[in-house]
Amino acid sequence: MPFVGSLLSAALLKSSSRSLPSLIAGLVALGCLAASIAAYPAIAEGEILRANLEWLPQFGLEFALRMDGFAWLFSVLISGIGFLVVVYARYYMSEDDPVPRFFSFLLAFMGAMLGIVISGNVILLSVFWELTSIFSFLLISYWHNSAAARDGARMSLTITGVGGFCLLIGVLLLGNIVGSYDLDKILASGDVIRNHPLYLMALIFILLGALTKSAQFPFHFWLPNAMAAPTPVSAFLHSATMVKAGVFLLARFWPALAGSYEWFILLGTAGIITLLLGAYFAMFQQDLKGLLAYSTISHLGLITTLLSLGSPLATVAAIFHMVNHATFKASLFMAAGIIDHETGTRDMRRLSGLYRFLPFTATLAMVASAAMAGVPLLNGFLSKEMFFAEAVETHADSILDRILPYVATLAGAFSVAYSLRFIHTVFFGRQPVDLPKPAPHEPPRWMRFPIEILVVICLIVGIVPSLSIGPFLHVAVTSVLGADTPEYSLSIWHGFNLPLIMSMVALVAGTVIYFVLRRYLASCADGPPVFRRLRGQRIFERILVEVSWRWARLAEQRLGTRKLQPQLRWVVFTGFLAGMLPLTLSGFEPRPFAFSGVDPMFAVIWLIGICLAIGTAFMAKYHRLAALVMLGGVGLTVCITFVWLSAPDLAVTQLLVEIVTTVLILLGLRWLPKRNEGVDDAITLRARFRRFRDLALAIVCGVGMTFVAYAVMTMPVPDAIATYFLENAYTEGGGRNVVNVILVDFRGFDTLGEIAVLGIVALTVYALLRRFRPAADSMSMPEQQLIQNRFDEERPERSAGDTVKEYLLIPSVIMQWMFPVLITFAVYIFMRGHDLPGGGFSAGLTLSIAFLLQYLAGGTRWAEDRIRILPLRWMGAGLLTAMVTGIGAWFLGYPFLTSHSRYIELPLIGKMPAATALFFDLGVFLLVVGSAVLILVALAHQSIRINRLRASDTEKTKGGEA
Amino acid sequence: MEIILSIAIGVMTTCGVWLLLRPRTYQVIVGLSMLSYAVNLFIFGVGGVKTNVPPLLGDDVVTSSLADPVPQALVLTAIVIGFATTALFLVVLLASRGLTGTDHVDGRGDRK
């Protein structure tokens, strides 16, 4: 529901109205509140409301919502305070701010927070958890043109985001331990979790999540920085929601995780330090909101400490204090907001004597801060008493436990001191001077209304606890503690006991502290003495810079390179390891080589092939043409192998591809640099080492491949899908050539993708070559052309270009004659493809070779004048044909690319297979022709373009000289 | 048979990797072609090595004795894609050579 409201407000982004979005927000919040309250009767019965939706059932995840007493209490708190904050914000936000955005974020945040509270699945919980981090980031950075807001928001996002990630790890571990992500199951299996070896890990990660969120030491420093947010946001985030999420989580998982010694030590240490430090820091703040922020930290520390104790009674106190703190802290933040709003400053050194101007607000703030200080008859007093009582008890005997009463009293004294300071400096004393806004006055009636409500709640709870909060608290506590729910009493007067004495001591000591330090506080700089220099924020920023900038640069310097060779070396090396490790780990043993059954002819062919391969490797640097020829030789050997080993289709394709590739590279050779004769061939030691290393790597890879290949080939072939294809190719695909049937029918979708890739490559090549400009030293005419032209010019009876024309005259005539023959051959290969070796690929390549021959025979210019083929259209037509054939199956009610086949009698030709797959193959054929021809034409065309380029260059130089 | 094929694959892999690690673009393109031969043969070999039983269905052929058609189909597409990548790489090579004036893989000339 809040999310819907958030979208609604977002839809109003453009409007400048303040009341409409706030109305929506208010209604939504009120609606949530009403829905929660309506659920109370059922909850009070001890029922747990659930709503499940399938989410990712295959991972055992479902979108489960679950509301028990504790969740109910929090829902009411969130939506109730949310509503009050909305009312307050309606008056707080000024006309200039984009109000709809504010309410949109606020509602979204509220939704995420409610999500945390009522999610019944721990994964879902962590999702909502992250959402609160994100929305709080947006809320804190609401005034995004202020640097403080941006920094504060970024810091809170970094810290809570990291925490959220830890939490996710933690709950995953937890889910792993329990075997389910369902919250009920996890809560029910506390003993299993505590005795599991992974318990400590899970605990640490979950605590990291909770402590970062609740701003516990050592992650406390983001909270004061988040005070740059608008005050309603602070009031909402830092009283009832954001920071409460952490302690909520701790209380939620209390049945599952608490009670162990680790829990106590980890949580207790963090809690006690936070309690004390927060209170101590709060005393020395000059900023009103800063004071409240540190006091929030301190109170959260108190709750954490209570939870760490592991006793049921302490947990009751913790839950009670969560509620109390939410009420008085929200009202105090709002009061601070009013003061800021009316006077224009939050600096306590400048504020004084405001009671005269804001008597009503002052009274409310006084009551609220008295609750914060723990003055009797107010709600803060009750939970503080319970805390003191628990502190005195011994739980786990250790230093931590023994110092707890003293620490508690001291922190109590501090909190009295800062509460007193808040009230005394701001509202009493002399007339304020030089305020930014000269005449402060009481805020509008409805801006005060939320504070009034909250303060009244403080009073009611404080005076008649068992009548007001009693039943609700009981419901919440029972749902967390279950059968362990202890006897507790919420009355104000427990008799003259130790906790009461501690309270008294704290009250007196706090007052004394304040009046002793008053002079100093009124003038000192911001921040507490001694610790002023030690700023968590600084450390955080230092770390951030260190990690994100220095380390990154270091890593880039050490590991990064712009050179391709080291990168490739790493790729090869990693590839080798990736192949090697699993084999070694799974106990791979190379099989003994058996030389029996070797056909000597085959051996001789491969002896030649191997020699050619090694030759290629040697020659590729200085003798490119020789290397290319030898590479072609290797290709032919591979081709023969395919013939030999029952793969005629492969052999045909390999042969044709070999031809096309060779011609392509030949065309490219022209643009490569000439051999540089001037380079001295003296090899440096480093180069020698480099080569040796590369060679070693290459040989290792090769040897590895040999062993693996041999092992794979000699293993018995498991009865895999091959049998299926062999048996069904004819009955279902209507073809006898199983390879072709697989390509165009069984795995037609792959082929479709593949021809699309081919088309894309052709287009890329074309695009790259359109703007191609050869290197300067390739611009001049090739040497052969120069010789030929010189020869022509020397003889008067010849004109330039004659030699080229006469070159290979007879073969070129034959090549031209061969053109129709080749076309026929291509059609033949295409038609027989379904039953005999052939098919679209090879037919397409054959046809492109036919065109290629024309280029070879007549020269580029001649061929381009006569060519009647538009490669782009062929490609488009091919892709379309293939697609349409596939889609055609839909109209007949079959899945994409289902084929149909039958034989038809044609006059003269006889029986013809006519499968729809033939059309698909036709598409393949068209596309292959188009792509191959496009690539060849684009490359060959460069030799014509260069003449133009050369001419324009000459003109340019001439123009420059003139 | 298998032994020869495996040795051939090994030798071609060695040559391919060696060429791949060389500084000249042309060497790299040749190396890639060589590697693709080796890989194609390897994939082909996975289906077992059989002579004289091409996967063509006839009237009196026992299907179970035929060569495995699946690796063949895979290799066939691999050959064609190999052609496409070679073409693409060739053009990139030429364009880089045109832009930088050198045929070093880094486009920056030799390192000393």
Q: Which of the residue ranges A204-218, A542-556, A885-899 has the most confident prediction, judged by mean pLDDT?
A: A204-218
Which positions in chain A touch B8 (Cβ < 8 Å)? Answer: 606, 609-610, 637, 641
Task: Quick: pLDDT tens for A815-849.
Answer: 888 888 999 998 888 888 777 888 888 899 998 88
Cβ atoms of A59 and A20 within 8 Å: the answer is no
Nearest chain A residue to B15 by CA distance is A617
pLDDT band at A3 (very low <50, low <70, confident <90, very high): low
Please tell me the predicted confidence (pLDDT) of residue A15: 47
Interface test with A, best of B29, B65, B70, B76 (most A CBs within 10 A): B76
In the predicted structure, residue A678 carries a pLDDT above the cut 70: no
Please tell me the predicted confidence (pLDDT) of residue A280: 83
Please tell me the predicted confidence (pLDDT) of residue B111: 46
B12 and A606 within 8 Å at the Cβ level: the answer is no
Tokens at residue B10, please? Answer: 């090994």
Cβ atoms of A941 and A671 within 8 Å: the answer is no
Residue B21 is nearest to which of A565, A624, A644, comparing CB atoms? A565
B11 and A653 within 8 Å at the Cβ level: the answer is no
Task: Quick: pLDDT tens for A308-344.
Answer: 887 888 888 888 888 888 888 888 888 888 888 887 7
B72 and A616 within 8 Å at the Cβ level: the answer is no
**pLDDT above 90: percentage of residues in chain A:** 2
Termini Cα distance of chain A: 79
Task: Quick: pLDDT tens for A88-140.
Answer: 888 887 766 777 778 878 888 888 888 888 887 888 888 888 888 888 888 88
The SS3 call for residue A792 is helix
The residue among A169 and A742 whose pLDDT is bigger is A169
B66 and A726 within 8 Å at the Cβ level: the answer is yes
In the predicted structure, residue A795 carries a pLDDT above the cut 50: yes
C-alpha span between A843 and A168 (Å, rounded): 57
The answer to ipTM > 0.95 is no
In the predicted structure, residue A659 carries a pLDDT above the cut 60: yes
Residue A702 is nearest to which of B14, B80, B87, comparing CB atoms? B14
**Nearest-CA neighbor of A671 among A949, A871, A861, A865?**
A949
CA distances from A465 to A114, A377, A383, A484 (A): 26, 10, 11, 22
B69 and A931 within 8 Å at the Cβ level: the answer is no
Tokens at residue A41, please? Answer: 């009767």
Nearest chain A residue to B33 by CA distance is A631
Which positions in chain A touch B15 (Cβ < 8 Å)? Answer: 613-614, 616-617, 698, 702
Residue B70 is nearest to which of A564, A721, A773, comparing CB atoms? A721
B15 and A617 within 8 Å at the Cβ level: the answer is yes
Tokens at residue A99, please? Answer: 């109000």
Look over chain A and give the mean of its residue pLDDT values, rounded to a whole number: 79
Provide the residue-wise pLDDT of chain B in tens; the chain has 112 residues.
788 888 899 999 999 998 988 888 888 999 999 999 999 999 888 877 777 777 777 766 666 677 788 888 889 889 988 998 898 988 888 888 888 877 777 776 554 3
Task: Quick: pLDDT tens for A474-500.
Answer: 878 777 777 666 777 666 666 667 777
- Say how many residues make up chain B: 112
Cβ atoms of A747 and A759 within 8 Å: the answer is no
Residue A709 is nearest to which of B5, B19, B77, comparing CB atoms? B5
B72 and A649 within 8 Å at the Cβ level: the answer is yes
Please tell me the predicted confidence (pLDDT) of residue A255: 81
In the predicted structure, residue A402 carries a pLDDT above the cut 50: yes
B65 touches chain A (CB under 8 A): no
The SS3 call for residue A910 is strand
Please tell me the predicted confidence (pLDDT) of residue A388: 81
Please tell me the predicted confidence (pLDDT) of residue A905: 58
Task: Quick: pLDDT tens for A245-302.
Answer: 888 888 888 888 877 788 888 888 888 888 888 888 888 777 888 888 888 888 888 8
Q: What single-letter DSSP state applies at residue B24? A: B
Please tell me the predicted confidence (pLDDT) of residue A740: 80
Nearest CA-CA distance, residue B15 and chain A, Å:
6
CA B42 from chain center: how many Å? 10
Cβ atoms of A572 and B20 within 8 Å: the answer is yes
B14 and A621 within 8 Å at the Cβ level: the answer is no
What's the mean pLDDT in A872-876? 87
Nearest CA-CA distance, residue A645 and chain B, Å:
5
CA angle A8–A9–A13, rounded 5-degree value: 120
Residue A638 is nearest to which of B41, B49, B70, comparing CB atoms? B41
Nearest CA-CA distance, residue A748 and chain B, Å:
11
Please tell me the predicted confidence (pLDDT) of residue A13: 46
In the predicted structure, residue A774 carries a pLDDT above the cut 80: no
What's the mean pLDDT in A889-915? 62
Please tell me the predicted confidence (pLDDT) of residue A214: 82
Domain boundaries, chain A: 1-257, 258-529, 534-560, 737-962
Domain boundaries, chain B: 2-50+68-100
**A–B: how many Cβ contacts below 8 A?**
307
C-alpha span between A572 and A909 (Å, rounded): 54
Task: Quick: pLDDT tens for A741-765.
Answer: 888 777 778 888 888 999 999 999 8
Residue B2 is nearest to which of A695, A713, A730, comparing CB atoms? A713
C-alpha span between A114 and A111 (Å, rounded): 5
In the predicted structure, residue A207 carries a pLDDT above the cut 80: yes
What's the mean pLDDT in A156-165? 87
C-alpha span between A83 and A93 (Å, rounded): 15
For A153-162, A669-678, A923-932, which range has the lowest pLDDT when averaged over its residues?
A: A669-678
CA distances from A662 to A395, A631, A654, A840, A852 (A): 84, 9, 12, 21, 11
B51 and A594 within 8 Å at the Cβ level: the answer is no
Which positions in chain B touch A645 (Cβ < 8 Å)? Answer: 1, 44, 49-51, 67
Strand residue runs (E) in A111-243: none
CATH class, domain B2-50+68-100, is mainly alpha
Please tell me the predicted confidence (pLDDT) of residue A465: 75
A747 and B73 within 8 Å at the Cβ level: the answer is yes
In the predicted structure, residue A145 carries a pLDDT above the cut 50: yes
B58 touches chain A (CB under 8 A): yes
Q: Which residue type does A382 have?
A: L
pLDDT band at A392 (very low <50, low <70, confident <90, very high): confident
Residues 6+ apart with CB under 8 A from A877: A923, A926, A930
